[in-house]
A and B are shown apart, each in its own frame.
Chain A
Amino acid sequence: MKTFLSDLRGAVMATIVIAVVCCGIYPLLVYCVASCAFPEKANGSLIVAKDGTVRGSRLIGQGFAGEKYFHPRPSAAGNGYDGLSSGGSNLGPTSQTLNDAIKDRIDAYRKENGLKAGNAIPADAVTASASGLDPHISLRNAKLQTARVAKARRMAVEQVEKVILQYVEGPDLGVFGEPAVNVLTLNLALDSNVERQVAER
């Protein structure tokens, strides 16, 4: 009994001290160092417009459906790219629901980008990501959308392709991960490019 009580006392005191050290001092230290060294990243890599409004985060995808924008992947997060409902569809390989959704997406993708029936569609264009907030699409997916975007913006295809290449991220250090096009920053760049051209005129 005596050892039991002393063990219990030890357990309670250990809980208190470790909670202060590992759950108080440690995260605060990380917070201080991170805020000094990487203030922009520690706060969510936010994209802030000139008037101060936040337009999104460079890391978090947004939904786009308009002709003149590159379209991101289908999203299972809420109504699509809902920042509070991250997650995938969790539909398995033999799911009828998933099969139907992919079929519809393939049809829509071919139609909006003017592709022939036999054209194989990039997998990322018709499948939902794990997070529902995937900011990226594959290079091939971006290239297949280029003609549509260029037409809607009255730009030359080569011009749009040049912009795409500026927004390819990865592979990290030349080896890690896959090359990926950041849809949000790419679309923003295209928008600002248009504004600049208009201003120059």
Chain B
Amino acid sequence: MPSTDASPTAPALSVSLDGVGRSFPASTAGEPDRRVLRDISLEIAPGEIISLLGPSGCGKSTLLRQVSGLDRPDEGVVTIDGSPLVGIDQRCAIGFQEPRLLPWRTLEQNVALGLPHGTPRSAGRERVSQLLDLVQLGDAKHLRPRQVSGGMAQRASLARALSRGPGVLVLDEPFGALDALTRLTMQDLLLEIHAAEPATILLVTHDVDEALYLSDRVVLLGTEPGERAGSGAVIRSIITVPGSRPRDRGDSTLAHLRAELLQGLGVSIHHPAHTF
């Protein structure tokens, strides 16, 4: 077992997926199992930010659940820092698309939910207030979730994930439910958090720009052309995003990658360059 010490900055950990696959029983009896993922192999270096991109329903969230320990793959193994992952793990924290804050707790108490078990009270309080400052909620810590905006709630949810002291931070469309402007500020905040608490981050997104802006590598999931839909999604391509963060949102090389990714997602881009 890894140590459960609550030191403020746990080191980022490597993640390795080796031939991961997941099937679900068919909804009608007699049908073959519905295969969602197959042959997913990926090495993620400590501190890397990886975006999972793919068409709706292709199994991105399912893959995330394998890495967070909420679900177990029926093929292959997930390894974190060299030791296999079985079930919910202290080394991993998950953030959901919805903030999922407990409505009867203040933001501060919600963040404290993430603290590792056995954290001394005073150390825990200090850690929580440090994290609330990091996500710029220091002034709102005594408010209830229903009293704050969606963006604030999502920040509290990020702070809660961080309070677990994770080596790997798994985020399922963390900014998907936010308005466009809030999303941009949250992206910058995530990068600040990453600089301050360098966990390995694996995030699912629908937003190609978000993926390019945030990540070191973008992993495109999808079914292989010619395969029928039930054969399971594989890694279609892995794109290394050039340059280093913070990136220029208007960078022209990114625009090129963006077109490539959108095409990979099956979206036509209606760009003049493609009409000659």
Q: Do A and B come from one complex?
A: no
Q: Which residues of A contact B (CB under 8 A)?
A: none
Q: Which residues of B contact A (CB under 8 A)?
A: none
